[in-house]
Amino acid sequence: RATLLLSRCLLKMVKGNIIVPEDILSFCCNGLQGSTSPPRAREPGEREEAPGAMASPPAAHNPTEVQMSQLVLPCHTNHCGELSTGQLLKWIDTAACLSAERHAGCPCVTASMDDIYFEHTISVGQVVNIKAKVNRAFNSSMEVGIQVSYEDLCSGKHCSICKAYATFVAQGPLGSKVRLEPLIPQTEEEKIEYSIAAERRRMRLVHKDTLKDLLTSSPQETELETRDGSGAVPAERTRVESVELVLPPHANHQGNTFGGQIMAWMENVATIAASRLCHAHPTLRAIEMFHFRGPSQVGDRLVLKAIVNNAFKNSMEVGVCAEAYGQEMSVSRRHINSAFMTFVVLDQQGQPRTLPMVAPEPGDGERRYREASARKKIRLDRKYVISCKQTEVPLSVPWDQSNKVYLSYNNVSALKMLVAKANWALAREKEKVRMYTLEEDKFLSFRIEMSVCIPASRAFSLLSNLRRRHEWDSHYVSAELVQKVDDDDMIYHVVSQKLRNESKPQDFVILASRRKPCSKGDPYVVAFRSVTLPTHPARAEFTRGETLCSGFCIWPESQEMSKVAYYNQAMPGYLTYVTTNVAGLSSDICSTFEACEKFL
């Protein structure tokens, strides 16, 4: 830490901010000892430090926020002088655990880690900055968001490395679960993360079912890749098995093995397996979402197994398994964790090289091969739909079995992000209907609120059924239920009235996603977005319309009263209904929501 602080001070001197040596030593000593003593008085003639030259970082809004800075030393790196991913995973897990324990006030263990995509490598001498904070606490588990970046001390450059979400479980005496206090978000960013955390939790719970559904319903999409397999490498040649003895330095204050340490060991054997396929030094690009199935303790032996499941043109998937056993060999091994890691091999220009094919073993090897192909498709869908910024996601994403969970997630989370936005301005109020607007980037968003005399659950049921919308919305002609995905997601084909100066009516293919409150204070949510279906292409008699983000949020105010809010990011086709008057909405829209209030 002293080296890092001193380096930053010296860098300020180089840039022209004159700081006397005593100040440097005092600053470093105070930083190491946690001193809170006031700064010393300046000597006569001594220059005052330039404003902002050593400004302290801004106070964290979230009391659970933890910041960690690590200087990358040679002992942390691989053969290329780059930070080992295993070491980075240990730092990430440590920072996230400290954040979780700040909120819980008791020991916490890692339960799962979401997908991690590594954007850059980190070299010796650079600084890794990790920021972790609790996004939301559920009953006994909490989601921790982690942001990782690196800092070049010489150039002052900062660059993002990855963003991750981890789930931690609070544990009491003898491993009992602890009920957590709810977290109250303060800033707009915290409110967005808090709201979307419920959607990410839902997605984790159905993660395994997504793979099963794809393998069952779309076997043709997981067939073997059609490349020249004459030079295929038998998968058995890539198999690795290694054992590690869990010692006290590998464990936390509870005596359980650090989740980050297990991940580091798994990354090590996975790298060896990948190297045996390509006969080169691979680079880890992604780790798929995984769950810890049970703990291991000091004194356990951890058996780590890895094998290349499938090799695609420029990447390969390595499956890793961790099992634990004690001194008694007669006791069966405990399955601790399984993970799937994606590697690439980079050439001198930093571009991925073409990889040899893998010849899977009959039986389990062929099953793993097909599952790896399915996971690749799911991973690409998940990254494409979830990781993109809202403005980068196409309006109508093709819907299929592999991405249905992630389109539903994107649908609801986009609406929740809009709800959590600040700076809404009241534009018009007419009787019971209030209209707010929000102008940002390419969108004009609006919100229409009204209080209705109806239980929130009943309003939720009525507004989520698009087949009844024509009863109160004169713009809707019909809504046909095309596909019931599950109890919470439906796909409709909607026909609306002709727009002004248009010769044909509009039609939409809309995914309607509904969510009941996850905890007290959450609203009922009904979200809408456009999708495409091969069974319902654009037709000549309609003008195909699209909606990016719209829907209802319903808050119970009492047993018989509810607050209903409709949100929409207005697209060009919908702007026809917006008047040239900046303060308001056209009278037919106001009439529509007065009719909605009467309908409810």
- The helix, strand and coil proportions of the chain, stated in percent and rounded to the nearest 5, come to 30, 30, 35
* Residues 391, 396, 397, 398, Cα dihedral to 10°: -170
* Residues 6 or more apart in contact with residue 165 via CB below 8 angstroms: 113, 114, 135, 143, 144, 145, 146, 200
Sign of CA dihedral 516, 522, 523, 525: negative
Per-residue pLDDT, 19: 43
**Dist CA 322 CA 261 (whole Å):** 12
**Dist CA 269 CA 280 (whole Å):** 15
Per-residue pLDDT, 556: 94
Per-residue pLDDT, 209: 75
Per-residue pLDDT, 416: 93
**Does residue 485 contact residue 404 with C-beta atoms inside 8 Å?**
yes
* Residue 248, helix vs strand vs coil: helix
Q: Smallest Cα–Cα separation from 475: which of 451, 494, 502, 501?
A: 494
* Residues 6 or more apart in contact with residue 212 via CB below 8 angstroms: none
Residue with the two structure tokens 């809004």: 61
Give the class (CATH, top level) of 232-390. alpha beta
The total of other beta-carbon atoms located within 10 Å of residue 147's CB is: 17
The domain spans of the chain are: 63-193, 232-390, 392-599
Q: One digit per residue, pLDDT tens: the chain, 600 residues?
A: 666 555 565 455 444 444 444 444 344 444 433 333 344 444 444 444 333 334 445 544 689 999 999 999 999 998 888 999 999 999 999 999 999 999 999 999 999 999 899 988 999 999 999 999 999 999 899 999 999 999 999 998 999 999 999 999 998 887 788 999 999 998 889 999 999 999 999 888 887 777 777 777 655 444 445 555 557 899 999 999 999 999 999 998 778 899 999 999 999 999 999 999 999 999 999 999 888 988 899 999 999 999 999 999 999 999 999 999 988 766 788 999 999 999 999 988 889 999 999 999 999 999 999 999 888 887 777 766 655 554 455 556 788 777 888 889 889 999 999 999 888 988 888 778 888 888 877 778 889 999 999 999 999 999 999 999 999 998 899 999 999 998 999 999 999 988 666 788 889 999 999 999 988 889 999 999 999 998 999 889 998 888 888 999 999 999 899 999 999 987 554 555 454 444 445 567 778 888 999 999
**Dist CA 328 CA 418 (whole Å):** 56
Q: What are phi and psi of 432, to 5 degrees?
A: -90, -5
Per-residue pLDDT, 43: 42
**Dist CA 131 CA 158 (whole Å):** 14
Give the class (CATH, top level) of 63-193. alpha beta
**Dist CA 395 CA 509 (whole Å):** 11
Q: Smallest Cα–Cα separation from 370: which of 314, 317, 320?
A: 317
Per-residue pLDDT, 339: 93
Per-residue pLDDT, 386: 58
How far apart, in Å, are the Cα atoms of 219 and each of 206, 598, 599?
20, 49, 46
Sign of CA dihedral 92, 98, 99, 104: positive
Note whether 63-193 and 232-390 share their fold. Answer: yes
* Residues 6 or more apart in contact with residue 284 via CB below 8 angstroms: 85, 118, 267, 270, 271, 341, 342, 343
Residue with the two structure tokens 């793979």: 211
Per-residue pLDDT, 5: 57
- CATH fold for the domain made of 392-599: Alpha-D-Glucose-1,6-Bisphosphate; Chain A, domain 4 (3.30.530)
